[in-house]
Every structure is written in C-alpha cells, then in structure tokens.
Structure 1
Amino acid sequence: MITQQQLAQLADQVSPMHVIVDADGQILSAGPTLKKLRPDEEWVGQAFFDFFEVSRPRWVHSFQDLLSTAGSKLHMNMRGEPSTGIKGMLAPLPNCGGAFINLSFGISVLEAVQDYDLTSADFAPTDLTIEMLYLVEAKSAAMEASRQLNTRLQGAKIAAEEQAFTDTLTGLKNRRAMDHVLGRLLKSGRDFALMHVDLDFFKQVNDTMGHAAGDAVLQHVAQVMVECTRQTDTTVRVGGDEFVLILDDLTDRKMLRKIAERLIARLEEPIPFEDKLCHISGSAGTSLSTAFEKPDIATMLHQADVALYFAKNAGRAQHFFYSPEMEEEGATGASVSERPKVAE
C-alpha cells in the first residue's frame, strides 16, 4: 500500500498545485507551486480554509460541505494579497476520510505568472497551461515585433514626407511645402503676410567665385532668414536665389517692415567663404491676406512678386508692400524668375 509520503511525492510530480487534507480538513501536503504562492506560510498542519475561500458552490462553509462537492468544479480565492483566483476539484481518499484536491489557476494564470514569477517548471509537463503560456508569449512577441515594425514604418513615412517638403541644400521648406502651408492657412481663414525675397548680386558670386561659394551663401542666407523670423513662421526656398516667408497671424505693417529691414541689413553683411568675402543684398515685396475678401495663393504670390520687382527697380536692398498702383506703373505680371533681371 502506498504511504502518505509516497503519495505526496507522486502528487508533487504530476500535480504541483495540489492539497491533501485529512478527515478534519487539516493540510497533510501541498504542492511546490502552491507553496510559492504563500512562501512564508507553513502549510502542513493548517486548515484548508485558512488559505482558501470558496466562492462557488455558495453553500460550502465547512469541510464536510467541501467533501460533498466531490467531482464538481470549485471556485476559490486565495486569502490575503494577491487574492488569486483558483479552480479545483476534490477526490475523496479511500479509508481515511481525507481528500485530494487538484488545483489550477484557470483564466487567472497570466496574472498568477506575473504576480508570483512562475515559470514552466512550476506546472506539470502535461498541463495545457504551458501550451497557453507559449501561445501568449508568441502572441506578445509577434505584437511587439509588429509594434516595432509599425514604429519604423511610421518613422520612415515621416522622414519621407519631411524630405519631400524640404530643400536639400538649405534645409528650408520647398515649394511643395509652401503650397501645403498656404492652403492650410487659407482654409483656416487666418490672417498672414507673404514676403517674397530675392537676393541681389548672387549671380556675380556664382560667376566669380564658383558654385561652391554660391551654395555656402544660400546656406548662410537660410540661417539668417530663420533667425529673423519666428518659430511659427515658414521660410521657403522656392528656387535659385528666391525665398518666400509666410508670416502667420501677422499683418501689422510696422512689424513686417521691421522684419524686412532687419533681414535686408543682415543680408548686406559680408559672408566669409574660404579666404574671401561674398557680398550680396536682398530685395523684398509683401502681400497681405487682409487685402482680400477671399485670398488665393496665386494672387498673393503675384502681388508679392510685383512688390519685389518694384523694390528691385527702386535700387535693390529695399522692401515694399504691394499696392495696385505698382501694376499701373509698369510692373508686369510675370514672375521674377521669368523676367529679365535688373543688371547685377
């Protein structure tokens, strides 16, 4: 006949979450995994109900009630914290009045694994819990891989969009970005100013000092324009030595005039390149959205361009606001890049 000690050793192997109780409901043996749930407690010799509270069947209040549930599923909770949910089934032991109670975590297994730092070694090899844990781990790994992939794809998308909107030489926004920003402003109904800036004497730098010097000048100009405007403004290189400043929520002529004057003054400062100095200046023309009942991009660009050409003809290194009289005085509707430039 198998002894109590042999029965406990066998139960530890095949059912690491078990309790063997005597006829009085005192614990004779507890599985190693079960002991991990309350490692500071002495299980043997304690009453079963000192560790477990039976929630179903609701009529179980004593050990005799518990014995009468043989073959039925038990729903319990561990007393104390954490109050882990436990499932169980009782089988009476012949000739002694005691019982063998096999236990499991059921759907609470994930919380139990986290709460008690359990591993596969804490479950019977044939326990389907192991298979479920593997599936959960595989799902978690797949979800993490998917999350990382989505993060990389989102980053690549943002980088591609940023590159599509950026002038590669200067790091400023490009014409495509300008159209996007202007379209958004017009849709929102916000007031803004559009300042068209063209460099004076830039062709002379390119012709006499080479394109490397010209590139250095454009990069320096881009930095100056960023420094002379606000973070909420948009600075655009529309091509060659032409730039557009979109000044959001700013139509005050006095403030705009100060920005233009500061920018023109900075552009007149000599720009070092290798052991030489590059000399340029800048002319600017500004159109205001408040001049329209419903402004549109093409008209505002045209007006800023007319004002710019007027500044060029007035002697360069100047700034003008658009007025209809400029058109009457002979400024054409062609863009600056399409007109013959004033000799430089």
Structure 2
Amino acid sequence: MDGNPHSDTALLADADLGRLMPMYLWVAPSGHIRSVGATLAKLCDGFALTGTRFLEVFEIRKPARVQSMEELRVLAGQRLHLALREPPRTPLRGLVVPLQEGQGVLVNLSFGIAVADAVREHALTNADFAPTDLTVELLYLTEVKAAVMEELAALNRRLQVAQRAAEAQALTDALTGLANRRALDQELQRAIDGIDRGSEGFALMQIDLDYFKSVNDTLGHAAGDLVLTSVADALRTATRRHDIIARVGGDEFVLILPGPIDEAMITRIARRVIEDIEKPVAFEDQPCWVSASIGVTLSRLYDRPDADRMLHDADAALYFSKRRGRARCTIYTPGIEEAEMVQPDCGPPEPDWP
C-alpha cells in the first residue's frame, strides 16, 4: 500500500486524493509528510514538503499548541488554525482525520477567509481548487461586485460633479460669468436671513448703464456684449471678494455688499465703479462710451428687510440719480420725499463725449 494512506479494501491513489483535496497532507505516525496535494505544494514552491516533519513546517495555533503527533491526533475532528512557519507564512484552516493504525493522519487544509489574498499572492486559478469547490466562482463574483460598486461610485462622483456644474451654470450669467437673477434672489434672501442670526447687515446697490442703448444702436450687439463684459470686470475690480455681483437684465446689475458698511464706503465704491465703467472700450477701432447711474439702500433702514421692498427702493434711488443727471449715486432714505434723498457726491457731471 505504498503511497496510499488507505487500506487495501479502499484504495485511492495520491493523484485522485489530490483532485478531491488539493491541499491535503498525509502525515506518517513519525510526523513525516508522505504526500501532499498539488495546490499546497504550489504554496511552498521554494521547498519540498514531502519527507519533512509536519510540525517543523506548520505551526498550529488553535485550539491548542501542538508539540507531538499524539497531541495532533487528539485534535482530530476539531477546526485548526495554523500557518507555515517559513515565508510566505500563509494562514490556513485545517481538519485532522486519523487513519488506520500505523498509517498516521490526513490533514486537509484551506485558506478560510484569507482565500482572496492567497489567490492574489500565489496566482492561484480554478485548477488549484477541487472541482466541487466554488471558491474561484465566488471570488469572481466578489471581484465583479467590487468592480461594479467602484464603477457606480465613480459614476456617482461624475454625476455629483455634473450636478454641481449644472447648478452653477443655472446660477450664472452666460455672457459675463456673474451671478444671474436667480442667484441674486437666493443670495439676497440669505443675507436677509443672516440678519436674524446677528449679522451686521448689508447694502443693496442697483446699477443701470447710461447710454448703453446708443452703443447697441450704432455699433451693434457684439459691441454691446463687449461693453457688458468690460463692466463686469470693472465691478469685480471695484468690489470686495465676498461681495455679490449679479447681472439681472440687459444692462442692469445688482450688488450685495455685506456689512459693516456706511455711506462713506458706499460713496467710495460707487465713485470707483462709475470711473471704471466710464473708461472707453475699443470695438473695431471705435470707442464705446457708457456710464452708470446707481441707487443704494441699506438693510438697517428697515425693521425687517424684505427683498422686494429693498429692490424697489434701490431702483427708486437709481432713477432719482438718472433724473439728477446720471453718472451718480443716490442712497435711498425712506419716509421723506424723493427730492430729499441723500445724494453723495460720487458722480461727475454728465460727460462730454465725442
């Protein structure tokens, strides 16, 4: 019965045993390994297992430390936790089955939950597992699931980026890159709500371009678009980083200037806005001349600021500026006649353009 751990009445060749249990060991009573499954041999490619002592190659950690073959036989039927003593020190699970007297034991091993790591580390394939073992199929399904989940996560990230881009686009004026009317409404309500949380208030500045219609009429809409983009740049330059700038109409702009802010600061900002906007813009060697009329209202002028009311009052102040000669700024003062509005000297006389 050389090379066979079974009796003459149940002969089983090592090759057949290896197909059933690719990670089996036949350990003689002396503790020497007499035969080994092909997959287990593949794990130990750097040294031959046959002829070595089982307990010199493998360390049994649970359920108890083992020092002799007799102690190993005592653990028959129990689940073993063991590992190779030498690299790669792969952790294994095992089961000991005693053979007939004088033939030793069979030890059948598996990777347990570390099977995925073992497959990658030792380049195992479907052929390295028993035909009835679904490990490779399960690993394939696990990898497919992981790949699908990663792709779904990547798709979700792309959708989030696209959603943020779409939301930003929906709140942006396509020509100037400034906030649009929808964005202004949101920011204005946010500024009003901030007052309830103790913010220092804000100023609302409404700007309407003077003489813009003549640019469109004489030089065309391309020239008008160039002027609008130039005005947007001027507003960015004249304001602070945290100020909100929105284009809400053809040549109408609204600014939200968070506080603390007073009339003197409004005057400086308005003067700079007007001066920068009045710098001519060249279009096809033709200068485009525009100016700006400005109306401002302050959140502190209201017991409880209201967006529509503030926009209305800033608009009223703006048209007061236009009636007073354009290219100037007016701060709205509620409760008094329009003619008595505060009018800072932040605008030059009507320009004498060619």
Identity, in percent, stands at 47
Q: Which residue is 2:278 aligned to?
A: 268
Give the counterpart letter for 2:167 in structure 1: E
Q: Write the deviation string for residues 283-322 of structure 1: whole angstroms up to 9, x where unpaired.
A: 2122222223321211221222122222222222222322
For 1:28 and 1:261, how far apart are their aligned partners in 2?
Answer: 98
Select the residue among 233, 236, 250 that pairs with 2:243.
Answer: 233
8 Å contact kept, 2:294–2:328: yes
Cα offset for 1:106?
1.9
**Once superposed, what is the RMSD of the aligned Cα atoms?**
3.1
Unaligned runs of 5+ in 1: 332-343
Cα 1:31/1:3, change in 2 over 3 Å: closer
Q: Which residue is 1:101 aligned to?
A: 107
What does 1:9-20 align with in structure 2 at a 5 Å threshold?
13-20=19-26
Instruction: State the TM-score, normalizing by the size of structure 2.
Output: 0.81
8 Å contact kept, 1:307–1:326: no
Unaligned runs of 5+ in 2: 6-11, 342-352
For 1:248 and 1:28, how far apart are their aligned partners in 2?
Answer: 86
Are positions 1:90 and 2:100 aligned together?
no
For 1:81 and 1:283, how far apart are their aligned partners in 2?
Answer: 82
Q: Write the deviation string for residues 78-107 of structure 1: whole angstroms up to 9, x where unpaired.
A: 557887542211233446433221111222
Cα 1:317/1:130, change in 2 over 3 Å: same
For 1:81 and 1:287, how far apart are their aligned partners in 2?
Answer: 78
The alignment partner of 1:215 has SS state of helix
8 Å contact kept, 1:22–1:28: yes
The alignment partner of 2:175 has SS state of coil
Are positions 1:204 and 2:210 aligned together?
no
Are positions 1:168 and 2:150 aligned together?
no
Cα offset for 1:54?
3.3
Cα offset for 1:133?
0.3
Q: Write the deviation string for residues 85-130 of structure 1: whole angstroms up to 9, x where unpaired.
A: 4221123344643322111122232344455565545434432211
Larger CA deviation: 200-209 vs 81-90: 81-90
Q: How many residues align?
A: 332
Cα offset for 1:166?
1.5
Cα 1:280/1:53, change in 2 over 3 Å: same
Q: Which residue is 1:179 aligned to?
A: 185
For 1:252 and 1:38, how far apart are their aligned partners in 2?
Answer: 82
The alignment partner of 1:76 has SS state of strand
The alignment partner of 2:248 has SS state of strand
Larger CA deviation: 220-229 vs 278-287: 220-229
Q: Which residue is 1:339 aligned to?
A: none
Q: Write the deviation string for residues 255-290 of structure 1: whole angstroms up to 9, x where unpaired.
A: 332222222111011111122111111121222222
Q: Which residue is 2:345 aligned to?
A: none
Q: Which residue is 1:335 aligned to?
A: none
8 Å contact kept, 1:91–1:101: yes
Q: Write the deviation string for residues 174-217 of structure 1: whole angstroms up to 9, x where unpaired.
A: 11111111112222223222111111110010111111111121
Q: Which residue is 1:341 aligned to?
A: none
For 1:316 and 1:20, how far apart are their aligned partners in 2?
Answer: 103
